[in-house]
Structure 1
């Protein structure tokens, strides 16, 4: 069972029904973004970008390792200098430090069971301390707990990479904001299946964040919290930052930041029969990344729609057998 808070109303259905309700709200919100014709034009463009899938693979495996026990993490990553689940929050993280190269990684675990979502997806916001950026309250509480615990083990002069899957991706991105505010050298933030953690007001201020979001083709979680949950002062929930969408085989889509934001808001075409929590599993991400390591093929965003339509047809035919 899952409890999902939506503006004071609490849903307690099965996971699929709960996610369907949330995504339905997201789809309605998408209709209020750019006109369909403009979305089609935007989605037909291919902005050539060389993606380092080997690096995405290495960091996806780091994100997966964050779900393991502390002993397993230390065995797999001998340079781990801290493994902890701080402040009573259900978010484990680890720090990997290479003193010779002066590089450090901060890797954050997502939900403890990747087939369910324990965190309430509510619309409450709090404002970040210095930059006044509105941030999802639950994710920010997790980030603050990790930040308080991690600071003594982090070095300001080291090149820093942050990594996370699911909720851990949102926390990693928020931690990136805090680290940059405090003078750390954040080189890149890699997130996989990251939910939204800020609103249109925050997106307008976060151009400085070196975030790269990786999204499996029909992962529903990046649509959450629903954009329909708008805050009068800060706007509605939005994604931001460049996005790599993983399709089957060698195919992938790359969207620069502005296009990713607009198309994320306009995903009214996404069919709930296709969008599925199985696409949120990190093993699925790793498999699709590895399919591209010997040569990825970049396609237009609209080609993804064609792929989804094809999959719907196949699913419909199978259901009749």
Structure 2
């Protein structure tokens, strides 16, 4: 297939995608920044020294139920409980270069879920799922959160829980990369996922939409609502094709210090603190047209 044909196919795929996903439920009108602050702090706590974790959680009225480091999969997480709610937080990485390198992996079929999936995230999620089972309370709702690769593992973990008819009540991720394709996203569209990103964080944009990557007309695709933290007390909300079109801007991007800073969980917490004081929603504009028709 020539490069010209691939480039011609890209807008067609996006246009068809827009139609296919136009029926996805829209975002709720209300957005709780205090709740997002809580998830961001818990995601930040996954990077804390294990010996300090219990005390840090107690300061948030959270009780540490279990923490583990699964060395074989380079994954660590903790399970906490507060006011009858369980929260599972998965650690990611703050090293942007390692994240982008780790994501250079093709999707592979997952027989358990019946979709194609990033295999590294699958392995991490399965390891956490098996390890945490004895500590989960079936009588309490489960919330899941994570930053960076930890966010990706959190999403796949939510897929396994939903398949086992024990769905998570809420999933909130920060700087999370894509984990599956359009078909996988559609199959698990019921997962109550909120993806928080900063505008200069490249990790949520990879792998980007590229004509060279179109093979089976089923590209990497994000699920859930996207909250874009813009700084200066501003934010945007989007999902579906608008969310994915942001990835086209990262095709030729070279990671720099600004991108590294934008990916840090500390940056997410700073922006959320500002928004909790004062927030203004800005409509997200792609400034992209397909066949002369504006996506906006």
Q: Same fold (TM over 0.5)?
A: yes
Structure 2: distance between partners of 1:253 and 1:301 = 6
- Aligned position for 1:60: 40
- Structure 2 length normalisation: TM-score? 0.79
Contact 2:171 2:194 survives alignment (8 Å): yes
Structure 2: distance between partners of 1:214 and 1:192 = 5
Change (3 A) 1:179 1:47: closer
- Aligned position for 2:240: 258
Residue of 82, 98, 101 corresponding to 1:117: 98
- Aligned position for 1:80: 64
- Aligned position for 2:277: 294
Change (3 A) 1:288 1:130: same
Residue of 149, 153, 168 corresponding to 1:167: 149
RMSD in angstroms over aligned alpha carbons? 3.2
- Aligned position for 2:293: none
Structure 1 gaps of 5+ residues are 1-26, 306-321
Residue of 140, 143, 167 corresponding to 1:158: 140
- Structure 1 length normalisation: TM-score? 0.73
Change (3 A) 1:185 1:235: closer
After TM superposition, give the deviation of residue 261 of structure 1 in Å: 4.1
Structure 2: distance between partners of 1:48 and 1:249 = 23
Contact 2:208 2:250 survives alignment (8 Å): no
Change (3 A) 1:209 1:93: same
Deviations 1:64-95 (A, max 9, x none): 10011211111212411111111512111000
Greater RCO (CA < 8 Å, at least 6 residues apart): 1
Structure 1: distance between partners of 2:104 and 2:206 = 10
- Range with greater deviation from structure 2 (261-270 or 144-153): 261-270
- Aligned position for 1:191: 173
Structure 1: distance between partners of 2:45 and 2:259 = 23
Q: Superposition pairs for residues 91-240 of structure 1, below 5 Å?
A: 91-98=75-82, 101-111=83-93, 113-117=94-98, 120-228=102-210, 230=213, 232=215, 235-240=218-223
Corresponding pairs, count: 267
Contact 1:29 1:226 survives alignment (8 Å): no
Structure 1: distance between partners of 2:153 and 2:8 = 27
Structure 2 gaps of 5+ residues are 1-6, 289-296
Residue of 213, 226, 241 corresponding to 2:224: 241
Contact 1:230 1:237 survives alignment (8 Å): no
1:124 aligns to what SS in structure 2? coil
Change (3 A) 1:122 1:32: farther
After TM superposition, give the deviation of residue 272 of structure 1 in Å: 5.0
Structure 1: distance between partners of 2:36 and 2:272 = 7
Contact 2:174 2:195 survives alignment (8 Å): yes
Structure 2: distance between partners of 1:304 and 1:291 = 27
After TM superposition, give the deviation of residue 157 of structure 1 in Å: 2.5
After TM superposition, give the deviation of residue 124 of structure 1 in Å: 2.8
